């Protein structure tokens, strides 16, 4: 069972920056995709960004402000650099990892880290 541990959340003012980290452990098979989702109060969980073999994907709302990357030395660690933060970025951010073992993919989730952007 893959375990994901997030860190780096906190309180920041509008326009500020935060860097989230997520480290995966107990990984037996290679992780295909890592990503970040978020869920604000009263809203559905949404994809923020993902990375697969160096190819990145972003939600329109964060393009140009957020950057997802995987650690060059440890491919089981993923980062989310968040710049120019806005109050609407306030949410619990969840790290995800997908392992593809035919015939099905397996998705794992972290416990979440709170990001609060004050106006």
- Is 90 exceeded by the pLDDT of residue 75? no
pLDDT at 1 exceeding the cut of 90: no
Tell me: pLDDT of 81 over 90: yes
The residues, ordered by sequence, that sit 6+ positions from 13 with a Cβ below 8 Å of its Cβ are 117, 118
70: tokens are: 């995987």
Identify whether the C-beta of residue 106 lies closer than 8 Å to the C-beta of residue 96.
no
In percent, the amount of the chain with pLDDT more than 90 equals 82
Question: How far is it, in rounded angstroms, from Cα 50 to Cα 47?
Answer: 8
Show the tokens assigned to 46.
């949404």
> Are 108 and 26 contacting, i.e. CB atoms less than 8 angstroms apart?
no
Note the pLDDT tens digit of each residue in 8-60: 999 999 999 999 999 998 888 888 999 999 999 999 999 999 999 889 999 99
Residue 74 pLDDT grade (very low, low, confident, very high; cuts 50, 70, 90) = confident
């Amino acid at each position: 069972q893959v375990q994901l541990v997030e860190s780096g959340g906190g309180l920041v003012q509008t326009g500020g920056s935060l860097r989230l980290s997520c480290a995966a452990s107990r990984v037996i098979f290679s992780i295909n995709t890592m990503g970040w989702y978020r869920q604000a109060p009263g809203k559905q969980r949404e994809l923020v960004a993902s990375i697969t073999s160096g190819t990145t994907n972003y939600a329109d709302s964060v393009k140009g402000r957020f950057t997802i990357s995987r650690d060059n030395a440890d491919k089981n660690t993923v980062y989310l650099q968040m710049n120019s933060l806005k109050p609407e970025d306030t949410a619990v951010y969840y790290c995800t990892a997908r392992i593809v073992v035919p015939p099905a993919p397996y998705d794992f989730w972290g416990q979440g880290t709170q990001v609060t952007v004050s106006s």
